[in-house]
Every structure is written in structure tokens, then in C-alpha cells.
């Protein structure tokens, strides 16, 4: 049976404790798992960017366009907490790469709408589906009570991020 322990040499994959002699338990184990999860998420995003030929900012824009829908560059800049100039550069790269396109705004001729290319969602889904399926499988393996506990904990983690990040 495969081990559930991480399989790379990244420091967050190795068991550690304050004394350095044994794996932590309780809150220390949770912190270590969250650190490991963050590192894995960052590694996956780099992989996805390589596969889809988009940088991190481009992936963030495309994620927003696919999940929220086509929008203006100004709205994207707000969403990314970036300047409109920086966002325009990201959009320019996405358009040049064939990942998105600009079209006239339906009611305001001064504006444009950024829309994902028809091929983007299926290309992204090909790489993201195994992750989505794996997370669903892990969640489905929990009892309803465990699911509620995990959901509540993750909600508190999100709240901690929100409190630590000024508006």
C-alpha cells in the first residue's frame, strides 16, 4: 500500500518538531500539513503555468474569467489588486498567446471585455481534473461529521488570512 507521507525532498515534506527529533502532533502537525499543502499548491500552479504557457498573473486572470465570466480590464485589475497598467500587460500576453481575446463592451463603446478563448477551459480542465477528483475523493472518504470539522477549520484558516491581509 502506498504511503500517505509526502515523497519529495522539500523541507516541508519531512517530519519535524521543535526538538527536531520526531514528527509533531496536534497543532504542530496541522501547521506542517498546511505548509506542505501550500508548497504543493505553489508547485502545481507552476506546473499548470508551464503546461498552459501562462505566468502566475495570467493564470489568476484566466481563473477569474472562467469562473466569474468575461469582464473589463479595470474589473480584473481590482480583482487582482493590481494596477490597470500591469493588468493590461497580463491581458496583452494572454491575447498574444491565444488564451483570451478582447471584444467590444456590449453597452459602452469606450470599454472592452476580456473573454477566455474557447480552448482554454478544456485545456486547463485536462490538467486540473485529476486534482479536483483527488480532493473530491479525499472529502468523500470523510464522515459527515469529519467533513463539517474540516470545513469549519478551513473557514477559520481563511479568516486568519483575511485578518492578516489589509484591505
In the block, residue with C-alpha cell 507552476:
46
What integer pLDDT is reported at residue 121 of this predicted model?
87
CA 126 to CA 128: how far, in whole Å? 6
The residue ranges of the chain whose pLDDT is under 50 are 1-7, 9, 11-12, 14-21
Helix axes 73-80, 56-68, angle to 10 degrees: 120
Q: What's the whole-model pTM score?
A: 0.74
CA 121 to CA 150: how far, in whole Å? 29
Domain chopping of the chain, boundaries? 118-167
pLDDT digits (tens, 9 = 90+) for 59-83: 999 999 999 999 999 999 998 889 9
What integer pLDDT is reported at residue 157 of this predicted model?
94
Amino acid at each position: 500500500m502506498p504511503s500517505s507521507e509526502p515523497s519529495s525532498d522539500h523541507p516541508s515534506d519531512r517530519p519535524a518538531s521543535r526538538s527536531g527529533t520526531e514528527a509533531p502532533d496536534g497543532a504542530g502537525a496541522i501547521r506542517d500539513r498546511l505548509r506542505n499543502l501550500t508548497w504543493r499548491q505553489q508547485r502545481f500552479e507552476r506546473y499548470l503555468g508551464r503546461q498552459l504557457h501562462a505566468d502566475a498573473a495570467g493564470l489568476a486572470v484566466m481563473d477569474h474569467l472562467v469562473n466569474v465570466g468575461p469582464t473589463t480590464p479595470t474589473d480584473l485589475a481590482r480583482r487582482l489588486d493590481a494596477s490597470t497598467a500591469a493588468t493590461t500587460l497580463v491581458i496583452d500576453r494572454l491575447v498574444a498567446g491565444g488564451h483570451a481575446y478582447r471584444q467590444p463592451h456590449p453597452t459602452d463603446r469606450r470599454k472592452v471585455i476580456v473573454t477566455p478563448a474557447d480552448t482554454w477551459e478544456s485545456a486547463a480542465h485536462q490538467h486540473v481534473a485529476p486534482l479536483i477528483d483527488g480532493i473530491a475523493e479525499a472529502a468523500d472518504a470523510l464522515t459527515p461529521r469529519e467533513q463539517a470539522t474540516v470545513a469549519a477549520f478551513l473557514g477559520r484558516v481563511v479568516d486568519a488570512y483575511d485578518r492578516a491581509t489589509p484591505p
